[in-house]
Amino acid sequence: MEGRFKKSDSENDYKYYVLQIVSRVLRPLLGKHEGSLIYHYEYKFHQDEKLWSKFFEEFTFHIFRKLIKTNNKAKKVIVLLNMFIPTIIKYSLCKSLIENYEYTSISYINDLVSPLFLCNCNTCVVIDLGYLSCRLLPVMNGMPLYHHYTYVDNGGFYINMEIKRLLKEQYVRRAQRRRTLRDWEASSASLVQASDGDILTNAQNTDGGYAAIPHEEKATEGEKGETNTSQGLVNYYLDLYPLEEILNVIDSMPDDEIENMKMKYFYLKNEETKLCSNKIVLYEFQNYEIIVEADTRWMACEILFTKNYEQNINFMFTSILSKLHMFEFSAFHNVLLVGGCSNIKGIVSKIAQSLFHALSEKKKTSVKDLENRVNFLFPKISPNLRQFIGASICSNLENLPDYTQEHIHNSVLYDHLNEDVYFTFKR
C-alpha cells in the first residue's frame, strides 16, 4: 500500500485510482448495462462492502492521518460525515477505523456525539446507559473531550441477568424456609408434646395451609398486573410449581421478555422522594405465573450503581471528575441521557444523586450552586418518551409539556416523568 503511493506520485495518479474505485462502486447503482450482472442482495451487499473497505484502506487513511495531527475539530468533521452517508459506507468507515488502532478513539464517538446535533446543545455531558456498557463523554463548546472519555462494563445486559437471579432467588428462599420449618417441626415433635398429644409449634397457619413469616408480610395495592394479596397467597404462587421446573422456566426467558418486564414493573428506588413501591407483581410467561416480589422490582436495577470491580456509575463519575479542570465543570450544567437504560423509572433521580455525591467528594466546586443549574436532556432519537417530548426537555418544571388523560394511559414513560423529574426537581 505504501509502495503504491510514493511522494513522487502526481496528483493525477491519486485522482485516477479514486475515480477507478468510485466508478466500480457506482456502476451497479446506475442501472443495468451490457455485461453487468444482477446480484442477489446479500451477495451485492458484501461486494459493495468489500469495495468501500478497499477504498478506505487505500485512500482515506492518508486523509485521516493528516486530520488527526491537526486539531480536535477534524475529528468532529469525520463524525458529521458519518451521520449522513449511506449505511454501507458508514459501516465500512467504522470497520476501517476500528481495525486501525491509531483511530480507535474515533470509532467510539459517533453514537455518543450524534444526539448533540439534534438537541442543539454544545456544552454537556453525554451519558450513554447502554446494553453492555455505560459511557460518559464531556463536550465543551461543541468539542468532545475525547481524552476524558470513560466507560464501565455495566448496563441493561447485567440488569437482565440480575432480574433472573433475583427471580430465582425468591423461589429458592421459599424452598429453604419450608425445609427449615419441616426440620424445626420434626425436632419439636420429638422434644415437646402437649398433654393431649398435639404438636406445639410457633408457625402461623394461613388459609392456604402455608406457614407465613410475620416480618415478611407486605401490604399491597391493586393495579393492573399487580395483585392485592396476603402472605398466604404469595406463598401459594411461590409453591405453585416444582422448584426445578420454575427455575428452568426463568432461565429460558428470552431477553425481549425480560426487557418487557423491566420496562413495565422495575424501577430505581429513591427514599428521599419516596419513589418506592410495596406492590407484588404476577407476570405471565408461557402459561406460567411468575411472582415478582416488591423488593425484586428495585433491587435488580441497583446493579448500575453497586456492581463490583469499579464497574458502576458512581465510579464512572468519580473517574471523570478526577480528569476535569475547574472550567470544564460547566459541562455538567446539561446532562444528556441516551441509551435503553435511560428509560428506567427513577434513573434521573439516581444519576443526580450519584453525580452530586461525587462532586461533594471532590470538593472542587459548590455542589449547591451546580445542583440548581443542572438540566437533564433527552434526545429526540432515543426510544419511547423522546419521540413524544420533542428535541429537548430539561428538568425545570415550567419546561415540561402539558399531559392529557390519553397521554397518561398510553405513554409508559409518563410514569418516568411523574415519579422522577417532577418529584426530584420540585423545589
* Segment among 85-99, 124-138, 366-380 with least mean pLDDT: 85-99
Mean pLDDT of 43-61: 64
The amino acid that residue 334 corresponds to is N
- Residue, of 98 and 300, whose pLDDT is higher: 300
pLDDT band for position 96 (50/70/90)? Answer: low
Contacts for 159 with CB less than 8 Å, ≥ 6 apart = 262, 266, 300, 301, 303, 304, 341
Could you give the CA distance from residue 176 to residue 164 in angstroms, rounded to a whole number?
18
Mean pLDDT of 349-362: 83
CB count in 10 Å sphere of residue 384: 17
Mean pLDDT of 226-234: 61
What would the pLDDT profile of 368-394 be if each residue is shown by its tens digit?
A: 566 677 777 765 433 333 323 322 233
What local confidence, expressed as pLDDT, does residue 80 receive? 44
Grid cell digits, residue 290: 411468575
What local confidence, expressed as pLDDT, does residue 331 receive? 84
What local confidence, expressed as pLDDT, does residue 43 receive? 46
- Residue, of 20 and 176, whose pLDDT is higher: 176
pLDDT reading at 408 higher than 90: no
pLDDT reading at 91 higher than 70: no
Mean pLDDT of 344-354: 84
pLDDT reading at 145 higher than 90: no
Grid cell digits, residue 272: 428521599
pLDDT reading at 149 higher than 80: no
What local confidence, expressed as pLDDT, does residue 269 receive? 84
What local confidence, expressed as pLDDT, does residue 340 receive? 77
pLDDT band for position 10 (50/70/90)? Answer: very low
- Residue, of 122 and 89, whose pLDDT is higher: 122
What local confidence, expressed as pLDDT, does residue 247 receive? 92
Could you give the CA distance from residue 122 to residue 108 in angstroms, rounded to a whole number?
18
* Segment among 10-14, 34-38, 123-127 with least mean pLDDT: 34-38
Mean pLDDT of 42-65: 63
| Crossing angle for the helix pair 41-55 and 11-26, to the nearest 10 degrees | 170
pLDDT reading at 315 higher than 70: yes
pTM exceeds cut of 0.75: no
pLDDT band for position 334 (50/70/90)? Answer: confident
Average pLDDT value for the chain: 64
HSE-up (13 A, CA, CB side) for residue 161 = 10
Query: Which DSSP category does 59 fall into?
Result: I
* Segment among 12-26, 38-52, 127-141, 252-266 with least mean pLDDT: 12-26
Grid cell digits, residue 348: 434521573
What local confidence, expressed as pLDDT, does residue 362 receive? 72
pLDDT reading at 159 higher than 90: yes
Mean pLDDT of 314-339: 84
What local confidence, expressed as pLDDT, does residue 268 receive? 87
What would the pLDDT profile of 276-286 be if each residue is shown by its tens digit?
A: 778 888 899 98
E strands present in 84-156: 124-129, 134-140, 143-144, 150-152
What local confidence, expressed as pLDDT, does residue 117 receive? 47
Mean pLDDT of 118-127: 72
CA-derived radius of gyration, the chain: 29
CB count in 10 Å sphere of residue 150: 17
pLDDT reading at 197 higher than 80: no
Could you give the CA distance from residue 278 to residue 299 in angstroms, rounded to a whole number?
13
